[in-house]
Amino acid sequence: MTRAVRSRADLSTARRIVVKVGSSSVSGPNVGQIAPLVDALAAAHARGCEVILVSSGAIATGIPFLKLDGRPTDLATQQAAAAVGQNVLIYRYQESLSRYSIVAGQILLTAGDMENATHRSNAQRAMERLLGLRILPIVNENDTVATHEIRFGDNDRLAALVSILVKADVLVLLSDIDALYTRPPGEPGALKIDHVEFADDLSRVTFGDIGSAGVGTGGAGTKVAAAKLAAASGIPVLLAATGSVSEALEGADLGTWFAAALPQ
């Protein structure tokens, strides 16, 4: 039985949370953010919360092991980087989670899996069983087998679909930026948006990229689209900085809150 989450403050008592983190937050110069991210997830886990982590970063993590100068543009090399990087990424998470005696379970999905009723049901059943066993599921797109035609495009959408699949109380989208702004925050006149009602018109918001070092695929636009997708299914969304994840999961007043659509 889930517990209603109607505001940021309710995150501290939520029963089931999906947290999404992007490539640029857990790879390259920011690989050190994995440990504090795990600290926050472990704290929520310790108070009885069921946590699912949707983590990008396989390709970005694999790039240096393939001795590449940057993110590959061809599909085969992206797949190769993902094959190497996913292995290293999950090892880094498990190594950090072991400090809390928490075991991770890896789930790799394609867009086709979410569109196929049988595959979707299997994924849901696996995640429910993992949560019941107090395992922390770590979900990523299966970049090794995904093709351009069937990719999610970004893991923000994947996180929204996972939150709907498991009927999460709330979705937390972590980013390099601390909130949604009326325009890219580095531009003059950019104003922070604190709260977004489901029916709010965001057509005047200028979406820039959220992410650094050119290793990710998402941006502010993909996060808003994912937030609207989850909110349409009754799941509120918090957009916050990766560095503030601990405070976010404790219910601090930060980031941008996307209110869920009201029940019909």
The residue to which tokens 């989450």 are assigned: 5
- 163 annotated binding-site participant: no
* Separation in Å, CA 264 to CA 179, 218, 232, 234, 261: 29, 31, 11, 10, 9
- 244 annotated binding-site participant: no
- 55 annotated binding-site participant: no
- 74 annotated binding-site participant: no
Detail the DSSP E strand segments found in 164-216.
Answer: 170-175, 180-181, 192-193, 195-196
CA-CA-CA-CA torsion sign (126, 48, 40, 197)? positive
- 20 annotated binding-site participant: yes
The residue to which tokens 């590959």 are assigned: 72
- 143 annotated binding-site participant: yes
Query: Rounded to the nearest 5°, which phi and psi values hold at 10?
Result: -75, -10
The residue to which tokens 């059943």 are assigned: 125
Question: Known binding site: residues?
Answer: 20, 56, 143, 155, 175-176
Question: Known binding site for ATP: residues?
Answer: 20, 175-176
Question: Known binding site for substrate: residues?
Answer: 56, 143, 155
